[in-house]
Amino acid sequence: MSTTATAPRPVSTPHNSAEGTGMLTGAWTLVRFMLRRDRVRIPVWAVATGLGTMSSLGSLTETYGTIESRASIVATMENPAMVAMTGVNPAPDNYTFGAMMGHQLLVFTLVTVAIMSVLLMVRHTRAEEQTGRAELVRAAVVGRHATSFAAYKTVATANLAVAAALTVLLASQGVETIDWYGSLLYGAAHVVTGLVFASIALVTVQISEYSRGAAGMGLAAIGVAYVVRGVGDVAGNGLSWLSPFGWAQATRVYVDNRWWPLLIGLAFALVVAVIGMALSTRRDVGAGLKAPAASPATASAALSNPFGFALRLQRGMLIGWAVGLLFLGLSYGSVFADIETFFEDFEGLDDLLPGAVGADLTTAYMAMVMTVMAVMASSSAILAAQRLRSEESGGRAEPLLVAGLSRTRWVGSHVAVALVGGAIVMLAGGLGLGVAGAGSVGDWSILPDALAASAMYVPALWVVSAVGIALFGMAPRLVPWVWAIVAYSFVAVYLRALIGLPEALKYLSPFGHVPQFPAVPFDAVPLLVLTGIAAALIAIGVVGFRRRDLESTA
């Protein structure tokens, strides 16, 4: 009896025409999985954004409690440097608390939400492909666009959570002109902006085959959008209408409460998202549309030693942060000529900058913004330290250690890059602040003061990085919690006086022990203590890593 072999029925894969329209198949299961993975990250981001905005509102109401004080700041906010940073004043003749919120704070929280959206989209798409988990999912019965749709839905949920926190926390304060209707528009502007950059990230993950490259392009798009908006606002030529941030600010929230500019953002997000999904069908899983550049036949001499190899892995991140801090310093320094006017009616200056009594306002301002830049620069130090964990969990550290590289040398190379890189990033911010400040007032003695002030924060950055290294060695799964130091430091050191927190809280942050030079005299003792703490934490991390087993998820 003859038998006829029959081919097994093919499993529905992303490239089967029978399920070409099944975008939603399996997508909702993926959404629940992604939300479960981010069940802590999303609420923390929403609450942190809402509380930060609420505290900023509190500082505005306390500092500019009278009509006269609000009117006095209008002229300062019309300075081109301030316009480039915050946008055009929507109500110069009636500068209410609501107008101040929409003018001075909206764009900064928009940038925060945009960064969150890009990172979440890359995390749930390209990063999943890079680890191989996406291929397992797509081998099941799911639609070809299920992963993209699920990631987009997850990012949208995160944006809605942030918007809800902002709306409730702002409207419930009972501040004049900040009502529920305007607060709802304020939150909606964040949702739309987040969706725009989520769509852009959905395109970048199709281009690059690495999560770092996709995230880098997405974050670069945020920077370009911010610059385009700033140039357009300063020139008054309508260029800001080409920026998603310009669309959100065009709502004139708490002034005219216009909803229609958000329709531009929604339409743009939809079109770009469709483009991203279409591009996903033109590449293989794990690959990118942009082919990787051909590698040289032999490696450079720098890659033959652990430090050079670690530096090569992290140089893109460090260069990006250094350039970002440089431009941030330039923007802060460009307003030095108007400091006297800006702080003329700032009654809380002495509380905001303890120890600055008797110092001129220029040095007081320099010390204040240096704290902000130091807290931001600490992010680069954390990322450099976290690279140890990603190399281990990705299975890339094990081949190096098996080949004869000692654990101490491997950890030491990444530690050296983190310490040196953090110092370079911080000094770049001081350089930008000093150059722009000196050019603004015509006094080049500001430059060495700015460089010295930035250098004093380097030991504090080392402590933050060392905490991450210690956690890597002793409890690697807790490494992400080192970001709590950044959030706490910003509130306890910078916002503490404005929101009425006890002064003692700032000393729980390494940045709270740095001398506020040049507003106060230099003191080497706290810097030496911070350096010693960093060295001890690094030693703990190295010893802990030498004694534990490797953990790999590859």
pLDDT of residue 280: 81
Give the sign of the dihedral formed by CA 492, CA 496, CA 501, CA 505.
positive
Amino acid in the structure at residue 331: S
Confidence (pLDDT) at 292: 66
Instruction: Give dist(CA 385, CA 379) in Å, integer.
Output: 10
Q: Helices (H), strands (E): how many in the chain?
A: 24, 0
Angle 276-277-283 from CA coordinates, rounded to 5°: 90
Structure tokens at 280: 């996903």
CA 152 – CA 117 distance, rounded (Å): 9
Q: Which residues are within 8 A (CB) of 359 and not within 5 positions of it... i.e. 6 or more apart?
A: 518, 519, 520
Q: Select, from the ranges 9-23, 412-426, 429-443, the one with the highest average predicted confidence (pLDDT).
A: 412-426
CA-angle at 152, arms to 151 and 158, nearest 5°? 90
The answer to whether 375 touches 494, Cβ cutoff 8 Å, is yes
Q: Is 445 helix (H, G, I), strand (E, B) or coil?
A: coil
> Residue ranges per domain, the chain?
26-290, 299-554
Asked if the peptide bond before residue 518 counts as cis, ω within 30 degrees of 0, the response is yes
Residue 5 pLDDT class (50, 70, 90 cuts): very low
Give the separation between CA 285 and CA 514, rounded to whole angstroms: 49
Q: What is the pTM of this model?
A: 0.71
Residue 499: pLDDT band (50, 70, 90) is low
The SS3 assignment for 120 reads helix
Half-sphere exposure of 493 (CA within 13 A, CB side): 27
How far is Cα 295 from Cα 11, in angstroms, rounded to an integer?
A: 37
Query: Are the C-beta atoms of 118 and 198 separated by less than 8 Å?
Result: yes
Single-letter code of the amino acid located at 306: P
pLDDT at 329: 83
416: number of Cβ within 10 Å: 15
pLDDT at 15: 42
- The burial class, CB within 10 Å (0-12 / 13-18 / 19+), for 98 is buried
pLDDT in tens, 388-434: 888 887 778 888 888 878 888 888 888 999 899 889 999 998 998 88
**The most confident of 3-12, 206-215, 247-256, by mean pLDDT:** 247-256
- Looking up tokens 């700033």 gives 230
Question: Residue 251 burial by CB count (10 A; 0-12/13-18/19+): exposed, middle or buried?
Answer: buried
- Token pair listed for 409: 């040398």
Residue 436 backbone phi and psi in degrees, to 5: -65, -40
14 or 487, higher pLDDT: 487
Q: What is the dihedral of CA 259, 265, 267, 272, to 10 degrees?
A: -170
Nearest Cα neighbor of 147 from 251, 281, 302, 333 is 281
Residue 109 has pLDDT above 70, yes or no: yes
With a cut of 90, say whether residue 199 has pLDDT above it.
yes
pLDDT in tens, 254-305: 988 999 999 999 999 999 999 988 888 887 676 667 766 666 767 677 777 8
Whether pLDDT at 357 is above 60: no
Quick one: which H or E segment has residue 69?
Answer: helix 67-77
Those residues with Cβ within 8 angstroms of residue 53's Cβ, 6 or more apart along the chain or in another chain:
105, 109, 166, 169, 170
Sign of CA dihedral 142, 145, 147, 150: negative
554 pLDDT more than 60: no
At residue 12, does pLDDT exceed 80?
no
Show the tokens assigned to 534: 């960093």
User: Given a cut of 50, is residue 536 above it in pLDDT?
Assistant: yes
State how far Cα 380 lies from the chain centre: 10
| Overall average pLDDT of the 518-546 stretch | 89
Query: Are 72 and 187 a contacting pair, CB within 8 Å?
Result: no
CA 465, distance to chain mean position in Å, is 17
Could you tell me the end-to-end alpha-carbon distance of the chain, in angstroms, rounded to an integer?
A: 49
CA distance 282 to 424: 41
Confidence of residue 8 (pLDDT cuts 50, 70, 90): very low
Residues of the chain above pLDDT 90, percent? 19
SS3 content of the chain, % helix, strand, coil (to 5): 75, 0, 25
Q: What is the mean pLDDT of residues 204-216?
A: 81
Residue 537 has pLDDT above 90, yes or no: yes
